[in-house]
Amino acid sequence: MSFTLAIGEKAPDFRLPATDGKEYALESFAASPYLVVFFTCNHCPFVIGSDEVTRKTAEAFREKGVTFVGINSNSEQTHPNDSFEHMVQRMNEHRFPWVYLRDKEQTAAKAYGALRTPHFYVFDSERRLVYTGRGVDNPRETDKMTVNDLERALTELTNHQPISVPLTNPIGCNVKWEGQDAHWMPADACDLV
């Protein structure tokens, strides 16, 4: 098995606390026809640079049955700004249109094979993976982006078309793994394409 969840595989379950004070599992989103799970954080310039594009995509596809779920798996020992308290503060400030979950034990990051922040996973109505990788081709400077891969995948999915590009490499900071150097990546983590 590769490090990152493969196209066609089922979404791994999770049970994680959110910034809204509730706890969520995969089944919490059962009413949504489609699900986007993405690994994100508070500090990464690639996340900060593309958050508003992600917001627009989430809002545009909400009426088509797409729910977005953000997960922060970063070690707060490596980056104190990625603590749960800072997550709550960030959501209060920005009011993003997604649930923001804390994966302190990094179990979700390992189950999904998250490589970077942001890293997107798009699931169909059966919760099978149909797209994974980047949101856009220049998340740090979205005024220079030329491709929105996430929007294309969601357009195709919600129009019941095959996903033309199911795999791209996520672009961003690597996930900050507990007890490791800030730039460490698991040995079996590799490019998706």
pLDDT of 181 higher than 80? yes
Would you say 53 and 140 are in contact if contact means Cβ atoms under 8 Å apart? no
CATH number of the domain at 93, please. 3.40.30.10
Instruction: Give the model's pLDDT for residue 1.
Output: 47
Confirm whether 169 is domain-assigned: yes
Angle at the Cα of 147 (from 142 to 148), degrees rounded to 5? 80
Confirm whether 47 is domain-assigned: yes
pLDDT (tens digit per residue) in 29-69: 999 999 999 999 999 999 999 999 999 999 999 999 999 99
pLDDT (tens digit per residue) in 108-160: 999 999 999 999 999 999 999 999 999 999 999 999 999 999 999 999 999 99
Confirm whether 93 is domain-assigned: yes
Token pair belonging to 163: 């996903």
Confirm whether 134 is domain-assigned: yes
- Domain of 110? 9-174
Q: Which amino acid is at 15?
A: R
Within 10 Å of residue 68's Cβ, how many Cβ atoms? Answer: 25
Confirm whether 126 is domain-assigned: yes
Per the structure, the count of domains in the chain is 1
